[in-house]
């Protein structure tokens, strides 16, 4: 790893840079009230947890909450329905299971230690759920993502980052979420001199949609931690106190100005590389690989994945999947950013039994099943801002969903359930009534093609649009 320059974090905006940014986001140590009770969000390094930890979550959810565990679009978990007066006991059980931020040790016990709540908030590094196992990967990101998580939790100044500020580390896997925008994204690419990581700001490897979203430059894998550190300090140096995301910084400062400032923190070049302006991943990502059984890099091993209905698990199902991981896999579960679960390291001869068991638990393992192509937010039963019961309406739509169509049901404009833009979005305008949007170059959800549809009318309209895609 390169030696950092002598530059230290700027003192030009000390109050803005060091103050904790306010947030209403749930966390492990910040349980947020919702219509169905408190929400406790558990951030999982690389989306991974052990079978023993899964059992603790199931037990704690039964004892202190409603027994509903929600998978998120950042490969984390949420315990819903936390009961009033049970918050401290729930948090203690989860921390005892090793599900909190990394404990302070050695130098981290200094007075500049990042607060525990902030250390929990900033643990936002997304990798492929098949990292280290995908046979198409250019680089095993598991160790590098662990280094980035340590960096985020050990520099006190990073407590000034918003809990929504997030990094993406793409090793070139086929099973990868590359349509999900991040504040800083890095993606492995093969060059004549070996693997490099291209990086961009305020976007994703799948698209070049605005200034800063495309690939800017490339660095060695060993330089990635220093690069990320430089970009985070640059954000905190330059961003206004109310700026939450990299896109807010880019609205006030050019990409070149951001890179020039970041250059003061590192001794390798960060100038924009024009040859990367139209860079794209060499290997197309395939989200369907999260479902069913697929061979891993090591011959004779497979990962098996399934999708719970609308991204929610009850405690019995979570325990059942954990038992499968112990008996048939390596004792770990991987949550995915598609709100599904993956069991790695399944032996070839065990694959049929694991698939049968996951199906018996109610998990969809075939991408042809409509439940794998529907996303719905908490809806009016769980969120006061939602205008419709999106969960119930999504189940109704599943019975009539056209083949190959992906739909997102959102109870309001916030789009909490989907960070990406879905091909079709049903935006609630009243109980049981939705406006239908089709993805295009328009901002937001895309082009509004119909208003005030019932679920039955929405199904008819989707069928029509699939048959006649040029029709509005």
One DSSP character per residue, 48-76 reads EEEHHHHHHHHHHHHHHS-SEEEE-TTS-
pLDDT at 14: 37
Domain residue limits, the chain: 112-285, 287-369, 372-467
361-392 b/e (C-beta count within 10 Å ≥ 16 → b): bbbbbebebbbbbbbbbbbbebbeebbbbbbb
230, two tokens: 């430089």
Task: For the chain, report the end-to-end CA distance as a whole number of angstroms.
Answer: 54
Contacts of 376 (CB under 8 A, 6+ apart): 310, 311, 390, 391, 393, 394, 408, 409, 410, 417
The reply to whether CATH 3.30.70.20 applies to domain 112-285 is no
The tens place of each residue's pLDDT in the chain, 472 residues long, gives 333 443 444 433 333 334 555 567 899 999 999 999 999 999 999 999 999 999 999 999 999 999 999 999 999 999 999 999 999 999 999 999 999 998 755 444 443 456 787 889 999 999 999 999 999 999 999 999 999 999 999 999 999 999 999 999 999 999 999 999 999 999 999 999 999 999 999 988 865 444 446 899 999 999 999 999 999 999 999 999 999 999 999 999 999 999 999 999 999 999 999 999 889 999 999 999 999 999 999 999 999 999 999 999 999 999 999 999 999 999 999 999 999 999 999 999 999 999 999 999 999 999 999 999 999 999 999 999 999 999 999 999 999 999 999 999 999 999 988 888 899 999 999 999 999 999 988 888 999 999 999 999 999 999 999 887 665 5
Do the domains at 112-285 and 372-467 have one common CATH topology? yes
Check if the beta carbon of residue 66 is closer than 8 Å to that of residue 80. Answer: yes
Check if the beta carbon of residue 195 is closer than 8 Å to that of residue 139. Answer: yes
Q: Give the architecture-level CATH label for domain 287-369.
A: Alpha-Beta Complex (3.90)
Contacts of 440 (CB under 8 A, 6+ apart): 446, 447
Question: What fold characterizes domain 372-467?
Answer: Sulfite Reductase Hemoprotein; domain 1 (3.30.413)
pLDDT at 471: 59
pLDDT at 113: 57
**Could you tell me the pTM of the whole model?**
0.91
The C-alpha atoms of residue 241 and residue 236 are separated, in whole angstroms, by 9
The C-alpha atoms of residue 169 and residue 185 are separated, in whole angstroms, by 6
214, two tokens: 């495309």
């Amino acid at each position: 790893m390169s030696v950092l320059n002598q530059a230290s974090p700027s003192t030009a905006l000390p109050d803005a840079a060091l103050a904790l940014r306010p947030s209403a986001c749930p966390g492990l140590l910040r349980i947020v009230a919702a219509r169905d009770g408190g929400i406790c969000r558990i951030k999982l390094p690389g989306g991974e947890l052990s079978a023993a930890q899964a059992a603790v979550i199931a037990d704690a959810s039964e004892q202190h909450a409603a027994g509903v565990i929600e998978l998120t679009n950042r490969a984390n978990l949420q315990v819903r329905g936390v009961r009033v007066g049970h918050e401290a006991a729930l948090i203690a059980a989860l921390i005892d299971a090793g599900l909190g931020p990394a404990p302070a040790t050695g130098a981290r016990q200094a007075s500049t230690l990042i607060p525990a709540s902030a250390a929990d908030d900033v643990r936002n590094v997304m990798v492929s759920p098949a990292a280290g196992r995908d046979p198409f990967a250019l680089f095993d990101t598991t160790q590098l993502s662990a280094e980035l998580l340590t960096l985020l939790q050990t520099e006190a100044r990073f407590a000034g980052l918003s809990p929504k500020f997030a990094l993406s580390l793409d090793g070139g896997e086929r099973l990868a979420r590359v349509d999900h925008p991040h504040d800083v994204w890095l993606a492995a690419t093969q060059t004549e001199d070996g693997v490099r990581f291209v990086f961009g700001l305020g976007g994703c490897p799948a698209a070049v949609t605005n200034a800063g979203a495309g690939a800017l430059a490339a660095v060695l894998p060993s330089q990635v931690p220093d690069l990320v550190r430089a970009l985070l300090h640059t954000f905190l140096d330059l961003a206004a106190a109310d700026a939450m995301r990299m896109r807010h910084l880019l609205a006030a400062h050019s990409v070149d100005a951001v890179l020039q400032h970041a250059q003061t923190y590192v001794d390798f070049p960060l100038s924009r590389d024009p040859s990367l302006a139209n860079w794209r991943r060499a290997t197309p990502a395939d989200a369907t690989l999260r479902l069913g059984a697929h061979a891993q890099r090591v011959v004779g091993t497979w990962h098996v994945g399934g999708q719970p209905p609308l991204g929610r698990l009850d405690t019995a199902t979570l325990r059942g999947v954990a038992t499968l991981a112990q008996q048939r896999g390596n004792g770990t579960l991987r949550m995915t950013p598609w709100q599904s679960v993956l069991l790695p390291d399944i032996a070839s001869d065990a694959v049929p039994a694991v698939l049968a068991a996951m199906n018996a638990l109610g998990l969809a393992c075939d991408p042809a099943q409509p439940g794998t192509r529907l996303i719905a937010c908490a809806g009016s039963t769980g969120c006061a801002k939602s205008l419709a019961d999106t969960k119930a309406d999504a189940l109704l739509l599943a019975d009539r969903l056209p083949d190959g169509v992906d739909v997102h049901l959102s109870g309001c404009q916030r789009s909490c359930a989907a960070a990406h833009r879905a091909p079709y979005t049903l935006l609630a305008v009243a109980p049981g009534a939705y406006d239908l949007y089709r993805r295009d170059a328009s901002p937001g959800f895309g082009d509004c093609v119909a208003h005030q549809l019932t679920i039955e009318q929405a199904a008819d309209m989707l069928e029509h649009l699939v048959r006649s895609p040029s029709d509005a």
